Amino acid sequence: MCDLNKLIDIYFSDINISESNITEKDEIKYFKGNYNDFFHGFLIPNQPCIIQNVTDQWKCKDVWVCGKGPNIAYLRERYGDALVTVADCSQRYFNSQLKTYTKFKEFADYWENLIEKNYPLSETRLYLKDWHFVKDFPEDIVFKVPPEFSCDWLNEYFTSQKHLNDDYKFVYMGPKGTWTPFHVDVFTSYSWSVNICGEKKWILLPPEEENKLKDQFGNLPYDLTHLENLIHFSDKQNIKFKIVIQKAGDAIFIPSGWYHEVWNMSDTISINHNWVNACNIDKMWLSMKISFEEVKKEISQFKNSMDDWEDHCQLLLQSCFGMNFKVHGNWILSINQLQYDLMKVEEILNIFLSYPDVKSRKFLSI
Ligand SMILES: O=C(O)CCC(=O)C(=O)O
Ligand SMILES: [Fe+2]
């Protein structure tokens, strides 16, 4: 076992030592069943789970992997010139890690070299993150979204709005010891992650539990495994959390608003999507509303002196939340028209759903 893994193990075994202070450290559920079971068992109650053997039919499981590790030579050959974002896991940048852009082949060279040298602790840990692989290589169909995660308004929206040139479908690749700091996902969305190869350790906190970890200024810890945070973490009573090991071929479902920190325990390649649908759209709206209220408060002193104060609020909302509710166009739609539109959409969808050929689901497949 390499030194870094030993270190990580020591950190986590410290959590176990103080376990008596923590009232709930329940196990993750392993899900196997139909969509209805997943809907009622996990989406609606907003509970995490693991689904096994997801990659059995995936092409990337064969061509991106060699033995138990990444097939770096293949990946370099095929994607060498792609531009990717790489995080230096030892350098903090605000609440995230310092990131740079590089060609994939540079990252591949670094990774191969690190493996060859047997992962010396003196070497920085670089982590390729948030690679919009599907967008960059639309012809390369190397995986299929598992049916449990297929109702995804967020990515459907971006797929239909090509001019926005964006999506929330990512590939992550990193050697053992790379990690992602404690955070909650963008828009309070769900996320799912599937390991093509390797193993991840997840620390998951149910919504609101993170508040127990805040310091006197209301700041959340950057790294839960950092020694002082560990002490803080285990000293506090009643903190609910889960530690989950996600193996190769496993999908993990991360519900809305669950803070998490993630460690790659071995060389890992994963596919990670953020997604939203009717089950968590209310949570997304709530967090958007909170961000909007904060933005308005932040620049409230300029409200009377600025002509375009509302536009500025929307601009700020876009930059801090990642989305706003400014409708672009020449006209302002009336509330009556919007309400009528929604009512009509509901009415026509109900008619559509009761149409015999639709009811029998002859034409509906995922
Ligand atoms: O795998 C990682 O390092 C982080 C993934 C993550 O935060 C997510 O999928 O929500
Ligand atoms: Fe995340």
Alpha-carbon distances, residue 2 vs 110, 137, 307 (angstroms): 18, 35, 60
User: Tens digit of pLDDT for each residue in 107-158?
Assistant: 999 999 999 999 999 999 999 999 999 999 999 999 999 999 999 999 999 9
Identify whether 364 is part of a domain: no
**Extended beta strands in 137-199, E state:** 169-174, 179-183, 190-197
Q: What is the CATH number of the domain that holds 152?
A: 2.60.120.650
The verdict on 250 and 330 lying in the same domain is no
Nearest to 213 by CA among 243, 193, 191, 236: 236
Residue nearest to atom 1 of ligand 1 (CA): 262
The verdict on 229 and 306 lying in the same domain is no
The predicted pLDDT at position 45 comes to 98
Orientation angle between helical segments 72-79 and 104-116, nearest 10 degrees: 170
Number of other CB atoms surrounding residue 138 within 10 Å: 8
Cβ of 246 closer than 6 Å to ligand 1, yes or no, is no
The Cα–Cα gap between 168 and 190 comes to 11
User: Average pLDDT of 228-242?
Assistant: 76
Question: What is the radius of gyration, based on Cα positions, of the chain?
Answer: 22
The verdict on 322 and 267 lying in the same domain is no
Cβ of 270 closer than 6 Å to ligand 1, yes or no, is yes
The verdict on 250 and 298 lying in the same domain is no
Cβ of 185 closer than 6 Å to ligand 1, yes or no, is yes
Is residue 61 classed exposed, middle or buried when 0-12, 13-18 and 19+ CB atoms within 10 A define those classes?
buried
Q: Which two tokens stand for residue 319?
A: 């930059």
Chain position carrying tokens 């139909």:
34
The Cα–Cα gap between 168 and 280 comes to 16
Cβ of 191 closer than 6 Å to ligand 1, yes or no, is yes
The verdict on 26 and 174 lying in the same domain is yes
The predicted pLDDT at position 362 comes to 73
Atom of ligand 1 nearest to the CA of 127: 3
Cα-to-centroid distance, 35 and ligand 1 (Å): 24
The verdict on 196 and 321 lying in the same domain is no
The predicted pLDDT at position 360 comes to 87
The verdict on 275 and 324 lying in the same domain is no
The predicted pLDDT at position 272 comes to 98
Cβ of 234 closer than 6 Å to ligand 1, yes or no, is no
User: Average pLDDT of 262-273?
Assistant: 98
Identify whether 198 is part of a domain: yes
Nearest to 8 by CA among 224, 282, 192, 186: 224
| Residues by chain with Cβ below 5 Å of ion ligand 2 | 185
Counting ligands in written order, the one closest to the CA of 193 is 1
The predicted pLDDT at position 331 comes to 77
User: Tens digit of pLDDT for each residue in 278-337?
Assistant: 999 999 999 999 999 999 999 999 999 999 999 999 999 999 999 998 877 777 788 999
Q: 260, 264, 266, 268: which to mutate for ligand 1, most atoms within 8 A of CB?
A: 260
Identify whether 57 is part of a domain: yes
At 364, is the pLDDT very low, low, confident or very high (cuts 50, 70, 90)? low
- Give me the residues paired with residue 361 across strands: none
Cα-to-centroid distance, 254 and ligand 2 (Å): 8
Q: 202, 270, 274: which to mutate for ligand 1, most atoms within 8 A of CB?
A: 270
Helix (H, G, I), strand (E, B) or coil at 79: helix
Cβ of 229 closer than 6 Å to ligand 1, yes or no, is no
Cβ of 189 closer than 6 Å to ligand 1, yes or no, is no
The verdict on 227 and 323 lying in the same domain is no
User: Tens digit of pLDDT for each residue in 3-39?
Assistant: 334 444 434 443 332 333 333 446 899 999 999 999 9
The predicted pLDDT at position 206 comes to 96
User: Tens digit of pLDDT for each residue in 167-205?
Assistant: 999 999 999 999 999 999 999 999 999 999 999 999 999
Cβ of 97 closer than 6 Å to ligand 1, yes or no, is no
At 236, is the pLDDT very low, low, confident or very high (cuts 50, 70, 90)? low
Residue nearest to atom 3 of ligand 1 (CA): 180
